[in-house]
Amino acid sequence: MPRLKKDNLAIIIAALLIVAYIIFQFYSVSHIEIETQTATLSTVYEKIDATAMVIRDEHTVEGGTSGVTVPCVNDGDKVKVGGNMAMNFSSSDAAESYAQYAEIQRQLKYYENLEAMTVGQVASVEMLDGDIADRADAYVRACEKSAPETVATRGSELNDSILRRQMLIGENVDLVSIIQDLRQRADALGNKKPDRYIKTKESGVFSSYADGLEQQVDYEKAQELSIDDIKRIAKEYDEQSGDNEKYLGKLITSYAWYFVCVVGADEVMDLEDGDKVDVALKDSGDTVLKMQIVSGAEPNVGDEETALILKSSEMNSSLATLRKENIEIRIRSREGIKVPAAALHVEDGKKGVYALIASQVRFREAQVIYSDEDYVLLAFDPDNKDGIRLYDKIITQGKGLSDGRVYT
């Protein structure tokens, strides 16, 4: 009798497993997992990816032979012929004392100017509120562009407006006490000065970053570099020792500079020397430069590679530090609906995508205007009633797709 019960139990378990399997299969068929993507307009670029070296008209600036030498200009500042570029001190303590004194003098000048501005002021709260909003917006935009000198300036301007508003509405901002305290601190330190200044013999833009390759290439011959020259320059950069502590920085004596790179000859088929292109710095956020192709866009028949040389006249503290960069040369832009290549299907001889509309699959006709290995760009025509519509839920992954099918 016990054996019979065990047999019955085994039969029941087996039956339950069979029923569970049937239910699972039915569920799998009727509840297929799908993935969707909202249809929005995107801009894609036909582009050339390259690793480029930077060539500038520049030279290194060495510090003093003794004591401590520090720059007296900021990165990106313009220096005139005979202008002070650095200060030399007998010791690090002397340099630190001067830095403290200079900072106190800067603050003192700031608060004295602010005090003068508030005398007899007729500004209204509404006017200052507008200034605060404008300057806050300018400060945010400066932060987004990652320009340290501009960020500092915009931050100071914003602080000015906030302090003036506080004083206008009667908040206790005792400028007199602040100014007196700063003067006492300055007097305690004494009038600090460097032992001597390092002056420049030519005008240019200063950068505290130097890599020792500033005169690796004759700037005057930058436009004549060959494929082998560019490969050699890149190799020397990769093999450099990186011992650059002896340099105070560098002076860039011309705004015009070059990106030089080696690319496939077939990649420049649609370009000509003299063309202007956008060049994106792939490792530097959203930085895009306007550049002109100097040479290399018209290789000889049969060439597999070409030495592409691009020129820019844009310069700032960030660009001054570039040497070897991954760049994206944008040939032209296209706008459309960007979807994964797997989302494209053919139904009744027509190309298109499937969209999920209120749990029902609908086929949307589509014209491919650009394709890559991973995605396709589809034309958007708002007048095409059978085409893709903005904010359609495009099915990017799913099985058994067909027009009219219902998914629950």
- pLDDT per residue rounded down to tens, the chain (408 residues): 455 555 566 677 767 777 676 666 555 555 557 888 999 999 989 999 999 999 999 998 887 667 788 888 888 889 999 888 888 888 888 888 888 878 887 878 877 776 776 555 545 556 656 777 776 777 677 776 655 656 667 766 676 667 666 655 555 556 778 778 878 887 777 777 888 888 888 899 999 888 888 988 999 999 999 999 999 999 999 888 666 677 888 999 999 999 999 999 999 999 999 999 999 999 877 789 999 999 999 999 999 999 999 999 999 888 999 999 999 999 999 999 999 999 999 988 889 999 988 888 899 999 999 888 889 999 999 988 889 999 999 988 888 888 888 876
Question: Rounded to an integer, what distance in angstroms lies between the CA atom of residue 377 and that of residue 145?
Answer: 30
The residue behind tokens 């088929």 is: 269
Question: Rounded to an integer, what distance in angstroms lies between the CA atom of residue 188 and that of residue 209?
Answer: 35
CB crowding 76-96: b at 16 or more within 10 Å, else e: bbebeeebbbbbbbeeeebbe
| DSSP 8-state symbol, 62 | E
CB crowding 139-172: b at 16 or more within 10 Å, else e: beebeeeebeebbeebbebbebbebbbebbeeee
Distance of CA 292 to the CA centre of its chain: 20
- What is the reported pLDDT for 5? 56
Question: Rounded to an integer, what distance in angstroms lies between the CA atom of residue 53 and that of residue 233?
Answer: 8
Backbone angles phi, psi at 151, to 5 degrees: -60, -45
> Which residues, including other chains, have CB under 8 Å from residue 402's CB and lie 6 or more apart?
347, 361
- What is the reported pLDDT for 277? 96
| DSSP 8-state symbol, 106 | H
CB 341 within 8 A of CB 371: yes
The DSSP bridge partners found for residue 41 are: 337
The CA angle 187-188-193, to the nearest 5 degrees, is 70
pTM of the model: 0.68
Structure tokens at 74: 């900021």
Structure tokens at 91: 């010791």
The residue behind tokens 């012929």 is: 81
CB crowding 25-48: b at 16 or more within 10 Å, else e: eeeeeeeeebebbebeeeebeebb
- What is the reported pLDDT for 233? 94
- What is the reported pLDDT for 122? 47
| DSSP 8-state symbol, 211 | -
Q: What is the DSSP string of 124-178?
A: -HHHHHHHHHHHHHHHHHHHHHT-HHHHHHHHHHHHHHHHHHHHHTT----HHHH
The residue behind tokens 């099985």 is: 399
CA quadruple 257, 263, 268, 272: dihedral positive or negative? positive
Question: Rounded to an integer, what distance in angstroms lies between the CA atom of residue 39 and that of residue 361?
Answer: 15
Question: Rounded to an integer, what distance in angstroms lies between the CA atom of residue 287 and that of residue 323?
Answer: 15
CB 200 within 8 A of CB 83: yes
Structure tokens at 125: 């709260």
